[in-house]
Amino acid sequence: MGKTKVAIIGSGNIGTDLMIKILRLSQQLEMSVMVGIDQESDGLARAKRMGVATCSEGIDGLIKMEQWADVELVFDATSAKAHLHNWEKVKAFPDKRMIDLTPAAVGPYLVPPVNFERNLDVTNVNMVTCGGQATIPIVSAVNRVAKVYYGEIVASIASKSAGPGTRANIDEFTETTAEAIEKVGGAERGKAIIILNPAEPPLVMRDTVFTLSEQADREQIRSSVADMVAEVQRYVPGYELHQEVQFDEVPADQPVFIEGLGYRSGLKTSVFLRVRGAGHYLPEYAGNLDIMTSAALATGERIIEHLRGRV
């Protein structure tokens, strides 16, 4: 059976990097159309040079193309607002699936090593955010050992790696990531913070994950985190622990107040991550964008395996 034809909506940094990953790495997906709204964008120009059909009229233009009939999977790398419009158009075609790389969160959240199996038959899945893809696996790793009351993540990304789409979606980033920490990571309460770091030269993405959980065996938590890091590295080789996992006691006689939960005591776990990009289209410091495109590619291939019955 041949490769499955896909289209990408959004010819910016994320869409272009995803296109190059599909062309270079995928054994199951074939680029059919790259879609944008700016005829002069580098993404559309690069697609043309690489022999990929292009469209500069957005989703409406894509639907009019002859290639549309053969496209089975659509990646949306636009913005949260644009995705709402794009999904309204795509959902009219029951034979199409959509993978949303924006914080729109129309469909269920999907983080590959955590909840793949529960979402394989969904027609629109949401890849959360770059911070969510990097940190939710860690929250889940702690939660499978000890119930997590509270999960807080801080994503620090190079300012140069934050394009117009990222900057326009800051509010959606924090809201979507916090909700996914709860729904996917398993925390009772979640919080997300993003920092745009203006340092020169630009620093690679760094993420800090704090959890407050029930008391548990610390070595079991370390082992669970290490196993989860290895799972993520299968599709994001530049994902790694930056320091050893650290623990602190929050004693019962000195509990902390968590909004929405009240006072809690237990075990505080701190995990420090670094994400270096693969450098396919984006610079290595843009690990925040690379983890999104890598997770989206892994998700697309897994969905197609499922649909083709190769699992």
pLDDT tens for the chain, residues 1 to 311? 689 999 999 999 999 999 999 999 999 999 999 999 999 999 999 999 999 999 999 999 999 999 999 999 999 999 989 999 999 999 999 999 999 999 899 999 999 999 998 898 999 999 999 999 999 999 999 999 999 999 999 999 999 998 777 788 888 899 999 999 999 999 999 999 999 999 999 999 999 999 999 999 999 999 999 999 999 999 999 999 999 999 999 999 999 999 999 999 999 999 999 999 999 999 999 999 999 999 999 999 999 999 888 54
Give how far the C-alpha of residue 263 lies from the chain's centroid of Cα atoms, to the nearest Å: 32
HSE toward the beta carbon, residue 14, CA cutoff 13 A? 29
Prediction pTM value: 0.95
Given the candidates 3.30.470.30, 3.40.1280.10, 1.20.120.1150, 3.30.360.10, the CATH classification of the domain at 130-284 is 3.30.360.10
99 three-class SS: strand
Which are the contacts of 24, defined by CB distance < 8 A and separation ≥ 6?
280
Instruction: Name the residue among 224, 206, 232, 214 with its Cα closest to residue 140.
Output: 224
Maximum distance among all alpha carbons in the chain? Answer: 68
For residues 269 and 77, give the distance between their C-alpha atoms in angstroms, rounded to a whole number.
Answer: 33
What would the DSSP string read from start to end of 243-288? S--EEEEE-TTS-EEETTTEEE-EEEEEEEEEE----SSS-TT-HH
CATH number for the domain whose boundaries are 4-127+290-308: 3.40.50.720
Catalytically annotated residue among 90, 130, 180, 203: 130
pLDDT of residue 162: 85
For residues 53 and 33, give the distance between their C-alpha atoms in angstroms, rounded to a whole number.
Answer: 5
Q: Where are the domains of the chain?
A: 4-127+290-308, 130-284
What would the DSSP string read from start to end of 45-79? HHHHHTT-EEESSHHHHHHHSGGGGG--EEEE-S-
Tell me, yes or no, if 55 is annotated catalytic.
no
Cα angle value 248/251/255 (rounded, 5°): 105
Instruction: Name the residue among 222, 249, 238, 244 with its Cα closest to residue 294.
Output: 238
DSSP classification of residue 121: T
pLDDT of residue 135: 98
Identical fold, 4-127+290-308 and 130-284 = no
